[in-house]
Amino acid sequence: MALLINEVDSLTNQIFSILENKFLFGDHENNAAAKTHEEDHLKSGNQISGKVRILSIDSGSFSDGILAAQSLLTLQTFLRQKSGNPNAVIAQYFDVVAGSGAGAILAALLFTRAENGAPIFTADQALQFLLKNRRKLFPSSPQGIFRRLFRPSKVKKLLSKTFGEQTLKDTLKPILIPCYDLCSNAPFLFSRADALEMDGYDFKMKDVCYATSADPTVVGAVGMKSVDERTKILAVEGGVAMNNPAAAAITHVLNNKQEFPFCNGVEDLLVLSLGNGESGFGSGSGSGSGDLTLTPAPTRFLRIAGEGASDMVDQAVSMAFGGSGNGSKYVRIQGTPNVKPNSKSEAVMSITKEMLGQRNVESHLFKGKKRSEVTNLEKLEMMGGELIKEQERRKTSILPTVVLKQKQSAATPRTSSASATTISSTPSSCSLDHQN
């Protein structure tokens, strides 16, 4: 447990250092000054290349993905109303999605391609899926009746029925999903970009979702192989590695010139980061028992570490955008619940709607966190307006903002991939005999 928490701390410091050096104290300004005259011309006037739109979804935390799902349903409803398209879906308005734990399952539901070319689930269908299967996917306790009732085979069957044989290559947009690999003792990032370049990095979506949601205190580690069986990892929950994947998504975009050729800094981004409700350990609800102890259970330790890392990522990303005068282009949705994590789905659904009505909390450079004058719901609508504006701009744009790679290349994974700059994604020789 101590090893995992130390790795989380190390990764968090890595991410913060990258953001700090790249954005916070002027390095991005030096890079901007060094741009060629041709690139400046391409990005001026009517030829402006636009903004890359990133969606980041935290690991489950309090609501097991319900807060993020409700947020996306609210956003989808807004997009349909304002765009005039009654069939608009979330995947049409984002270029990259990153999700961890429960957030990864939600991302996969919304961005995996169905046979008809549309996403397999809309936002309302994804919310109902999580509500219906919450107890199957996310057992409430590593002890007692919940552990005895929890059967990994049921979860695998559910994910298999949902995703079939679809792989990372079958997603509509670039997708990033983290887990922690016990073979290499390092985070591992499942990436569509890497999967398209090398079969050794392509995994089935059902396996990816199971790996990133595998709570080590409940099911232990999950052994899995890539499609070509060349890469083997022993995975535990994505929240252990990267509870808030926003920084990894930003790093991936800024270093992936093949798919995002004109994106050079945060001024070229729109980022929506969705939390899933803070656990509220200080209120005595963290363990579900209402009692505070000096020796929290392992599950609580993991949540404390994960939520602390999430806050640090939020602070760093927020400062990066604020320092560039683009604070309105980064929106973080998070809430504080007043019910226990083990509550029934109906109660969780009710409280997530209340959290959307809470005043939004913003991070400010050297000033910590402050409640803004607008609510989470109003922030979502502001971001929705930006997404629609960008969507409309692209209809008349000469330059492509995003050039998605579709065909597999024989080339080795590019060194500029997020998996090369922020985590270890090197195929390991780990034996799967240790799978729990």
Question: Do 72 and 125 meet the contact criterion of CB atoms below 8 Å apart?
Answer: no
- DSSP three-state, residue 57: strand
* CB neighbour list of residue 187: distance below 8 Å, 6 or more residues apart: 7, 11, 178, 179, 180, 181, 241, 242, 422, 423, 424
In sequence order, which residues have a C-beta less than 8 Å from that of residue 344 and are 6 or more positions away? Answer: none
Q: Is 191 a catalytic residue?
A: no
Which entry of 100, 141, 279, 310 is annotated as an active-site residue?
A: 100
Nearest to 250, CA basis, from 231, 265, 230, 237: 265
Q: Residue 421: which of 8, 14, 30 has the closest Cα?
A: 14
Pairing of strands 269-274, 359-364: unpaired
Q: Which residue has the tokens 């994974």?
A: 413
* End-to-end C-alpha distance for the chain, whole angstroms: 16
- Which residues, other chains included, contact 81 with Cβ-Cβ below 8 Å and sequence gap of 6+? none
| Cβ-proximal residues to 165 (8 Å cutoff; 6+ apart), any chain | 204
Active site residues: 100
